[in-house]
Amino acid sequence: MSRSKKSSTFIIAFIGIVISLLWLYPFYLVFINSIKTKAEIFTNTLSWPKNLTLENYPEAFKELEFLYSFFNSFLVTSMSILIIVICSSMAAYALSRNKSKLSSAIYFIFAIAMLIPFQSIMIPLVSIFGNLGMLNRIGLMIMYLGLGCSMAIFLYFGALRGIPTSLDEAAKIDGCNTFQIYWHIILPMLRPTTITVIVLNAIWFWNDYLLPSLVINKEGMYTIPLKTFYFFGEYSKQWHLALAALLIAITPVIVLYIFLQKYIIKGISEGAVK
C-alpha cells in the first residue's frame, strides 16, 4: 500500500472514530447519570459516578409499569410487522410477476406514496378512524400497515427482480399453485429483505410517539414511548429515575438491532439495486 493510500485510510478511520464518539456521547450521558444519585446528578452531570447505584432501575421499572407498556409495544409492533411482511411480500410478488401496464402503475403509486409526509394526512386519518370507532390498538396496526407497506413493497419488488421466473415455471410443472410457490419458494428466498423490513419497521413502531398519542388514550394501553412521556412529566425533577426509565425503554430495540444488523445492508441492497 502506498504512502498516500495509508494516509487516506488513517484520515477516514480517524473521522469515523470521531463521528462514532460524538454519536455515542448522549448515550454515555444517559447511562452514567442513570447510575447516580439525584444529588450527584445536579452536582456534576458529566463525570463518572463516585457512588455507583443500581437502585434507580428497579424503581423506574416499577413506576414505568414496564411489563404492561412492553406488552402493548410488543403487541402493536409485532402484529403490525407481521401484517406488513405478509401483505407487502404478496403484493410485490404479484406486481413483479405481472408485466402489464396496470401493475407498473400500481407499483409507481406505492413508490410515490413513500414521499407523502405523515403530517399531511395525520388529521384526516385520525378523524376517519375516529368515526369508525377504531382509535385503539387494532386501528393503530391498520394505520401502520398503510404507512409502512410502500417502503416494504419497494424493497420486496427490487429483490424479486433478481429471482428468475423459471423457478415459478418449474414449480408449476411440479403441481404447485401460485400461493404454494410464493409461500414455499419465493418467501424463503426473500429472507434478507424480510429481516430488513422487520428491523426498520420495528425501530419505527417501537419508538413512535406521535401516532400512538393520537390513537391510544386509555390507561393500560399505553406503549413504551407514551408511558415514558407521561413518566417524564411526572418525574421531571427526578432525573436519576427518568434517565433509568429511558435506558430501560430503548434497550429492547437496541438488542434487536444488534442481533439482526448484518442482514440490513444486504436486504436494502437487494431491494434497491437489483
Contact of 168 with 55, CB cutoff 8 Å = no
Q: What is the CATH number of domain 57-273?
A: 1.10.3720.10
This prediction's pTM: 0.81
- Residue-by-residue pLDDT tens, the chain, 274 positions: 566 677 778 888 889 899 988 988 888 888 888 888 888 887 777 888 887 888 888 888 887 788 888 899 999 999 999 999 999 999 999 999 988 889 889 999 998 988 888 888 888 999 999 999 888 899 999 999 999 999 999 999 988 988 888 888 888 988 889 999 999 999 999 988 898 898 889 889 988 998 999 898 787 788 988 888 887 766 666 777 888 888 888 888 788 777 777 766 665 555 444 4
Tell me how far apart the alpha carbons of residues 32 and 37 are, in angstroms, rounded to a whole number: 10
Distance, CA of 244 to CA of 256 (rounded, Å): 20
Nearest-angstrom CA–CA distance, 38 and 34: 9
Q: How many helices (H) and strands (E) does the chain have?
A: 14, 0
